[in-house]
Structure 1
Amino acid sequence: MGTEGGHQHAIDTSIPSAARMYDWLLGGELNFEADRKACEDLLKIAPSSRELALNNRWFLERVVRFLARERGITQFLDHGSGLPTRPNVHQVAQEVRADSRVAYIDIDPIVIAHGRTSLDVNSGTRFIEASMTDTGRIIEQASKGRFIDFSQPVAALWVSVIHCLKDAEEPEAMIRRMREHLAPGSYLVICQLVSDDKQVRKAVTDLMDQGTGGHWGRVREKRDVRRYFSGLAVLPPYLVDVTHWRPDSELRRPQATHEWIEFGGVARIP
């Protein structure tokens, strides 16, 4: 469900956090009563939210493994990385290619606190404290010591996080800025929460925005996500509910209901 947005704020465990809510939906322990209560309210509107979160995490694992194994990618930028959830991106990538490098990017204070100890763990990982909209800082910090070599292909990940951005933060422009820094042969991995039901979009957006004190964006429509991929070569199976992106039948857990889905895919920069 995402963790970041373009805002930095102090840790207040009485206010739900999208990062901690996502952690609870995945069965984690880095959450508090306010987060659990907000998840209960969310499940009343969208009962499929737990399955959706799990399927999204499995999509992230599959896509990183695919890019490392099938496309030879060894550099990853994980925007709005969220709380550590095993296996993390570097664990998946380094299992395939030991020389893989992963830069985790987040601005949520609780993610920073846990990320620096659990994600920045070896010479192939780096944690960058930055808003995912701050492309300049991300490039500067990732480039230090040529940790990420932007003259070579990079996979830029925005997995279940762009819905944390408000329209005023211009997510499409954010993606376009990053694209300008990526070498040919790089990949973009993008998915976000969407719904065909106008009432669900409004109800969930209002719940999350009010519950998190305004630190959330909105549930969007498929057409919004399609714009993120404008001008790019989208890989088969193209833009889909990520449950169906090159699925692994052993891991798949179908949603019983479909009030909303994670919609997106993978594209190559020519």
Structure 2
Amino acid sequence: MGENERTGPPSMPSVPDTDRPNSARMYDYYLGGSAHFAIDRKAADDALEVLPQSAVYAKANRAFLGRAVRFLLSQGVDQFLDLGSGIPTVGNVHEIAHRINPAAKVGYVDHEPVAVAHAQRMLAGQSNVTITQADVRDPESVLTAPGVAGMLDFSRPVAVLAIAILPFVPDDAEAHALVASYRAVSAPGSWLAISHISQVSATDEQVRVAHEVMGRTPTPVLWRDRDRIASLFNGYRLADPGLVLSPLWRPDTQISFGEAAQANAYGGVGLLDG
């Protein structure tokens, strides 16, 4: 792993901001991790008081990621670009992929120093896996980083994973342009996986409080409805069962619609045809 991969561009933060809660660390808290601070736990607990489904959302995203990666491997994919990969925890992409294909290559990208530092320690000595500190909203910096350009071959199919990251791009035009930038460099036969928060079982008041809590962080979020999420797949052909509540996307066990609705999220995986 090169020096630029470890530290990121000079403009990137090298130490965590502990004056404000951080979405990646709050997510880690919901998943039962240990890479968070008191200020993150306070914000996460404030959200849970009004929106108990917050932890369900985090766990549903992690489960969807695992199922999506296994599906993509079954389609012959052996390269993954995980955008906004977050703080390492059980069920990371490379752990899932390497159980099935030890030669699969994974490029993780995140801008949060705590996430990157933990990933560096976890990935020490690993082959076919890198972590890059970069802002996924700057595709050029991501795609030219040694941990991405030196690991993934975009002349062959690659799976771009945008799991719970596009809500942090609240402007629709920017979100579409962002997806289009990664699509433009992907070869035919590449894939895109998206999970996205959406108001399904949450009340208007719960959504309002969730927005207020996340407004304390450097990365406010936008809840999109199903149609707006579906439009992010422009240029891709959705695999069965399409864009559905994320727990209902190829579930490992039977789950009711009511249970799935508690996640307040949609998920889908699309193929870039030639």
TM range (shorter): 0.7 to 0.9
Call closer, same or farther: CA 1:137–1:14 in 2, change over 3 Å.
closer
Q: What does the per-residue CA deviation read over 1:78-119, in whole Å, with 9 as the maximum and x for residues that have no partner?
A: 000000011211111111111100000011111122122213
- In the other structure, the counterpart of 2:133 is 129
Letter matched to residue 143 of structure 2: I
Contact residue 52 and residue 255 of structure 1 kept, 8 A? no
Partners of 2:65 and 2:140 in 1: CA distance: 25
| Mean CA deviation greater in 14-23 or 232-241 | 14-23
Aligned residue among 179, 186, 189 for 1:185: 189
RMSD: 2.3
**Which SS does the other structure have where 1:41 is aligned?**
helix
Q: Is the counterpart of residue 209 in structure 1 residue 212 in structure 2?
A: no
Contact residue 154 and residue 185 of structure 2 kept, 8 A? yes
- In the other structure, the counterpart of 1:114 is 118
- In the other structure, the counterpart of 1:261 is 264
* Structure 1, unaligned runs of 5 or more: 1-6
Call closer, same or farther: CA 1:168–1:58 in 2, change over 3 Å.
closer
Partners of 2:56 and 2:152 in 1: CA distance: 34
| Mean CA deviation greater in 198-207 or 27-36 | 198-207
Aligned residue among 44, 60, 69 for 2:49: 44
Q: What percentage of residue pairs aligned between the two structures are identical?
A: 34
Contact residue 101 and residue 148 of structure 1 kept, 8 A? yes
Q: Is the counterpart of residue 23 in structure 1 residue 18 in structure 2?
A: no
Letter matched to residue 224 of structure 1: R
Moved >4 Å (runs of 4+): 7-10, 252-260
**Which SS does the other structure have where 1:151 is aligned?**
coil
Call closer, same or farther: CA 1:65–1:184 in 2, change over 3 Å.
same
Contact residue 16 and residue 113 of structure 2 kept, 8 A? yes
**Which SS does the other structure have where 2:192 is aligned?**
strand
Q: What does the per-residue CA deviation read over 1:205-250, in whole Å, with 9 as the maximum and x for residues that have no partner?
A: 122112x1x4223222222211101232101110011101100118
How far did 1:168 drift?
7.5
How far did 1:121 drift?
4.2
Letter matched to residue 210 of structure 2: V
Q: What does the per-residue CA deviation read over 1:102-161, in whole Å, with 9 as the maximum and x for residues that have no partner?
A: 00001111112212221354221011111111111222125544x211010000000011
How far did 1:255 drift?
7.1
Q: Is the counterpart of residue 234 in structure 1 residue 255 in structure 2?
A: no
Partners of 2:258 and 2:114 in 1: CA distance: 29
Aligned residue among 68, 72, 77 for 1:73: 77
Call closer, same or farther: CA 1:253–1:237 in 2, change over 3 Å.
closer
Q: In the comparison of the two structures, how many residue pairs are matched?
A: 259
When normalised by structure 2's length, the TM-score is 0.87
Matches for 1:63-102 after TM superposition, within 5 Å: 63-68=68-73, 70-102=74-106
- In the other structure, the counterpart of 1:58 is 63
Matches for 1:151-170 after TM superposition, within 5 Å: 151-167=155-171, 170=174
When normalised by structure 1's length, the TM-score is 0.88
**Which SS does the other structure have where 1:170 is aligned?**
helix
Letter matched to residue 28 of structure 1: G
* Structure 2, unaligned runs of 5 or more: 1-10
Partners of 1:257 and 1:238 in 2: CA distance: 15
**Which SS does the other structure have where 2:160 is aligned?**
strand
Contact residue 162 and residue 192 of structure 1 kept, 8 A? yes
